[in-house]
Amino acid sequence: MVRREWIRIAAFAIAFRLFSAGLALVSNVVFPDAQREQFTVFNSPSPFWDAFARYDSGWYQQIARSGYQYTPGGRSTIAFFPAYPFLMRHVGRLFGPRPSDLYIGGLVVSWLAFVLAMIGLYYLARLDLTRGRAERAVVLAAVFPFAFFFGAVYTEALFLAAVVWCVYAFRTDRFLLGGLAGAVATATRVNGVLILPALAWIGWQRYRQIAEGGDGDRARRSALGAAAGVLLTAAGIGAYSFYIWRLTGSPFEWVATIERWGYHPGGVPWLALASLAGELLSRPYAYLASGGMAPYDTLNGLAGLAFVVAIPFVWVKLGATYGIFMAASLWLPLSSGTYEGIGRYCAVLFPFFVWLAGFRSRTAFTLILVVFATLYTLCLSLFTNIHPIF
């Protein structure tokens, strides 16, 4: 039965990626691009392959091809964490030495990671939900409006796979395995480090549960295992910081570089969402029709707003672990004061989908699925045709 379950989930994940690839191809053929292509997978434009490689994909390919290039006082590639381009390089070399092979390698990494993420999400959701509702969580995560990033040469699929397996391992007392998966997460994206409070909470709760049962020795072993898992998780970002220290002389130069890319976390996290809500409530049509970034900010901002509103419900329904993870993970992008990237930051916050899947009403699930699928198609088309939704 277990084997049948993961085969079914894997088949769904692959089928959905193929369907999305076909949808992106149609969009690329039918609709004009919003701007000129910044780069192509091959030497000439390809309406199929280029749909997977937009915006940051080019930076990951550059790192996979030439390693990190540090520009003192300027923007440089050290703002992008190493796990994904490392895998992209080594998988891409299996296809050949050409630059295009690195993009193909990145695509293979993303698609395989997406399959692993969906399987991991299913088993993680099964800890709280019935089989049918756990499958709903997988479907909702796959068709979330910004989930198209899971099929692109981007880090989202690898990050989600690492996070769900990390949390699953911690919740099932496999702390060292969880630490290994967590190290991949913290070496994949900067916000991976924000999983540490949730993991520490799992370890603390497990220690209390065992200690209250009267088994002090087992409780201490569990606490030590959880602590080791948390430290191992932090080793991903720690190893990258050590590398950056060797490269630049400062272990946290990647922080300064990220700020030079226009991200300045640490501000008041609700200001951007409050500003967007004010525009949409006072003059929705005028704001959306004003051009510029308004439509894209709206899509990103509404995604962030929905997840913020969901935090207390997730906390009450699924526990503090998931509430802490969502709150910490949303604080980083929202405190920067910009809407850019909020949608894809939300796409990897799996507790939201587990919570939605727990709704008893089949009508509510169907309505959410229809809304998600409609917006997924829109967002995928915007990304494919090089609109600034990233």
242-264: average pLDDT: 90
pLDDT of residue 323: 97
Burial class (CB in 10 A: 0-12, 13-18, 19+), 373: middle
Tallying the residues shown for the chain, one arrives at 390
DSSP 8-class letter at 42 = S
The answer to the question of residue 250 being in a domain is yes
Tell me what pLDDT residue 69 has.
86
Summarize pLDDT for 267-300 with one digit per residue, the tens.
888 888 888 889 889 998 899 988 789 999 999 9
The answer to whether residues 132 and 147 touch, using CB atoms and an 8 Å cutoff, is no
Residue 356 lies in a domain: yes
As a whole number, mean pLDDT of residues 80-91 equals 96
Q: List pLDDT tens digits, range 366-379.
A: 999 999 999 999 99
CB atoms within 10 A of CB 288: 14
Domain-located, residue 390: no
Most confident of 81-90, 288-297, 329-338: 81-90
Task: Read off the pLDDT of each residue in 247-251 and give the average, rounded to a whole number.
Answer: 92
Helix (H, G, I), strand (E, B) or coil at 7: helix
User: How does the average pLDDT of the chain come out, rounded?
Assistant: 93
- Say yes or no to pLDDT of 57 above 90: yes
pLDDT tens digit sequence for 217-226: 888 888 899 9
Question: DSSP letter string over 276-344?
Answer: HHHHHHH-HHHHHTT-TTHHHHHHHHHHHHHHHHHHHHHHHHH-HHHHHHHHHHHHHHHTTT--TTHHH
Of the ranges 39-43, 145-149, 226-230, which one carries the lowest mean pLDDT score? Answer: 39-43
Rg, the chain, Cα only: 21
Between CA 263 and CA 216 the distance in angstroms is 46
Token pair in block for residue 226: 């959880």
Q: Name the DSSP class of 173.
A: T
Q: Which domain holds residue 189?
A: 2-384
Q: Which tokens in the block code for residue 216?
A: 């002090």
d(CA 375, CA 93): 36
> Which segment of 126-130, 190-194, 214-218, 283-287 scores lowest on mean pLDDT?
214-218
Res 43: pLDDT: 86
CA dist 178 and 321 (Å) reads 15
CA distance 242 to 157: 25
pLDDT of residue 189: 94
pLDDT at position 110: 98
Looking at residue 71, its pLDDT comes to: 84
pLDDT of residue 212: 82
- In a domain? residue 300: yes
pLDDT range class, residue 208, cuts 50, 70, 90: confident
Q: Judge contact between 204 and 212, C-beta under 8 A.
A: no
List, in order, residues 6 or more apart from 356 with CB less than 8 Å away: 136, 137, 140, 365, 368
pLDDT bracket for residue 5 (50, 70, 90): confident
Label residue 1 by pLDDT band (50, 70, 90): low
Query: To the nearest whole percent, how much of the chain has pLDDT over 70?
Result: 99
∠ CA 88-92-93, nearest 5°, is: 125
Instruction: Please give the average per-residue pLDDT across 83-103, as a whole number.
Output: 95
Q: What integer pLDDT is reported at residue 272 of this predicted model?
A: 85
In a domain, 389, yes or no: no
Q: Has residue 296 been placed in a domain?
A: yes
Percent of the chain with pLDDT over 90: 78
Alpha helices in the chain (DSSP H): 2-30, 57-66, 83-92, 99-125, 131-143, 156-171, 175-186, 196-212, 216-248, 253-260, 271-282, 284-288, 294-318, 320-334, 342-347, 350-357, 362-384
Q: Give the tens place of pLDDT for each residue, 339-366.
A: 888 999 999 999 999 999 999 999 999 9
Per the structure, the count of domains in the chain is 1
Q: What is the DSSP letter of 214?
A: T
Report yes or no on 379 lying in a domain. yes
Q: Is residue 259 part of a domain?
A: yes
Please tell me what DSSP assigns to residue 44. Answer: S
Residue 2 is predicted with a pLDDT of 62
**Closest residue by Cα to residue 127 from 316, 318, 313:** 318
| pLDDT score, position 356 | 97
Mean pLDDT of 170-185: 96
